[in-house]
Structure 1
């Protein structure tokens, strides 16, 4: 099969022929029909994820058709239309038993712990726990966008953030996850403040429901601007990009007893990021993390998508073929553009989807 492969971190990947995967006893092989390009893929390519072993095939937002089934899989058959969360759970650990598969103790992640979906086929483990049926009528491109950026935003806003109608919600970084969060919070009846360095990203945020926009470029005090437009600060704020600047601004822009949800990855040399903890203590703020969404939580999101309340397909701004992935992956760290996060450009765009990577 054809796949995008890199052999050294930060060195351009290339499309080449590699062996097709075989299903594990509890797993399946999916014929990839669409797969999203995410900033997490860029982090992996840069060497920020310790689970990656070289050579490597990235890609973790996917949808397709089951092509082969392990002999211990009960729920799925060849030909089924499926997608999958980017966290694939073991189904047996204490976290899984509690229903918290998104923080499974023995999780696997396509494109990180093993070869991913920038390929014609991808192997997925523990299929009965992790696969999600793609509804008839939903395109594979839309389904692929759910597995990381949209499902991650949904859980961050609805479950972890506990959004309520009428609240002010600030979203720092209007890339794929950030714009998804804007749409989801607005659909819940919240008043959303979108924050980004890119005028194009802010315009997209307005289009999906942002009530106010804050330009974070230049020397502007982003947190002060958020507090000003919200009349004292956001009730809920998300760092959807992942940088020390956006994390601190998200916390500093909260009102008393507000909630900060960290969604964007925060790589650093030491593995830590400064957080304004004095403000957290003084205002009794909540600091929460959010890490994807378990397969069993998909129905509520899919119901809203099916009803047209949420429109993840509108966030797919560009479709490319497999041969264009290496260049698009590299561009995420070198150029700014629509969908850039506050402080860091992600030039591949808001929602880039690789369509039908087969020959």
Structure 2
């Protein structure tokens, strides 16, 4: 019997600051190079809820947002060979043209022809419809995930890919480097977990008890930054030397300046991983960078190779994100999901599609 395929999708849409709606659109016919995916989960990223808070209104309305999503392949075009099959679990890669200079170098999040949060699927809506229960995309815009992973864990491919890029740029030395991560939120602990998988010693500096408890449950050394001097604590734990690498995973001026004092005196590296609104500052002059041979590393986005590595790390459980899932909400409660996700101290919140309209707690 031929499977009945959906003709429409329901999707979460941000129509104005603080206002989420669930809307319906017809699904397009599947083209030869496309997949129809029954989307299971989309996690709410900081980018998503900051626009909901009115901090990123430059991204545009109405925003059919969400990009940390995963689902099951329901149908595929005739040009898609055995790379993907019906029943595979997949996660979304950003859309890209494949032939511009950036794409030729694998820098798909910098595609020159497809805007990352543009109107790529609709003349009306911005975004890539991560909060849709069904969606049709090009097969090149997916990576395959293990069906043993929970959907909420599988949805970490996109944020993990950006962490992989960050750590590759930092050139971590397994068994040698001590890494301090400032900020124990989702992305801070994801950086910490991945740095440990790369072989580094990792220390997490944080002020919120809940985040400190989660970091400790994940097996990390921690510094309670409002109970002890975090700079001196790092020096004490590194025999006065300082950290080889500091990853600033919270967008704040105080964190940037702490990093300058935590990192070792010469040949240290600081990753400015997190953006902040308003933009954080950093108190440093070029002579200091020069004489300390200091590396200030900026990172944003991911390459195709980063997405593949992220999928591998999740599939093999080398990176375990199970403790970074806060709660789950059905699509019909997407407003409540955004309230939860934007509450200080929250980890990732999942919007669950194709599920009964009941709130589920995942942690």
1:84 matches 2:92: yes
Residue 110 (structure 1) shift: 5.9
| Contact residue 5 and residue 58 of structure 1 kept, 8 A | yes
| Contact residue 131 and residue 295 of structure 1 kept, 8 A | no
Counterpart of 2:344 in structure 1 is 336
Query: CA offsets per residue over residues 305-341 of structure 1, 9 Å max, x none?
Result: 44433222343232222233312323444x433xxxx
1:18 matches 2:24: yes
Choose from 306, 313, 324 the match for 1:315.
324
1:54 matches 2:66: no
| Contact residue 67 and residue 128 of structure 2 kept, 8 A | no
Query: CA offsets per residue over residues 36-74 of structure 1, 9 Å max, x none?
Result: 122121122234446633222221100012346567766
Cα distance between partner residues in 1 of 2:114 and 2:232 = 39
Cα distance between partner residues in 2 of 1:277 and 1:123 = 48
Q: State the secondary structure of the residue aligned to 1:257.
A: coil
Residue 29 (structure 1) shift: 4.3
Counterpart of 1:147 in structure 2 is 158
1:180 matches 2:190: yes
C-alpha distance 356-260 of structure 1, shift in aligned 2 (>3 A): same
Cα distance between partner residues in 1 of 2:354 and 2:207 = 32
Counterpart of 2:360 in structure 1 is none
| Contact residue 164 and residue 309 of structure 2 kept, 8 A | no
Cα distance between partner residues in 2 of 1:68 and 1:52 = 31
Residue 263 (structure 1) shift: 2.0
| Contact residue 194 and residue 214 of structure 1 kept, 8 A | yes
1:93 matches 2:100: yes
Choose from 62, 71, 80 the match for 1:64.
71
Counterpart of 2:129 in structure 1 is 116
More displaced stretch, 159-168 vs 286-295: 286-295
Larger radius of gyration: 2
C-alpha distance 188-115 of structure 1, shift in aligned 2 (>3 A): closer
Cα distance between partner residues in 2 of 1:178 and 1:358 = 30
Residue 161 (structure 1) shift: 1.8
Counterpart of 2:223 in structure 1 is 214
Cα distance between partner residues in 1 of 2:325 and 2:37 = 22
| Contact residue 244 and residue 266 of structure 1 kept, 8 A | no
Query: CA offsets per residue over residues 238-294 of structure 1, 9 Å max, x none?
Result: 1222233323333332112211112222333xxx54223324334221111222333
TM-score under structure 1 length normalisation: 0.81
| Contact residue 22 and residue 29 of structure 1 kept, 8 A | no
Cα distance between partner residues in 1 of 2:182 and 2:338 = 22
Choose from 337, 348, 351 the match for 1:351.
348
Cα distance between partner residues in 1 of 2:29 and 2:233 = 52
- Corresponding residue pairs, total: 335
C-alpha distance 116-227 of structure 1, shift in aligned 2 (>3 A): farther
Q: State the secondary structure of the residue aligned to 2:16.
A: coil
Query: CA offsets per residue over residues 83-122 of structure 1, 9 Å max, x none?
Result: 123x333211112212332433334446995242122134
Cα distance between partner residues in 2 of 1:109 and 1:172 = 28
Which sections of structure 1, spanning at least 5 residues, go unmatched? 338-348
C-alpha distance 72-114 of structure 1, shift in aligned 2 (>3 A): farther
Q: CA RMSD in A?
A: 3.0
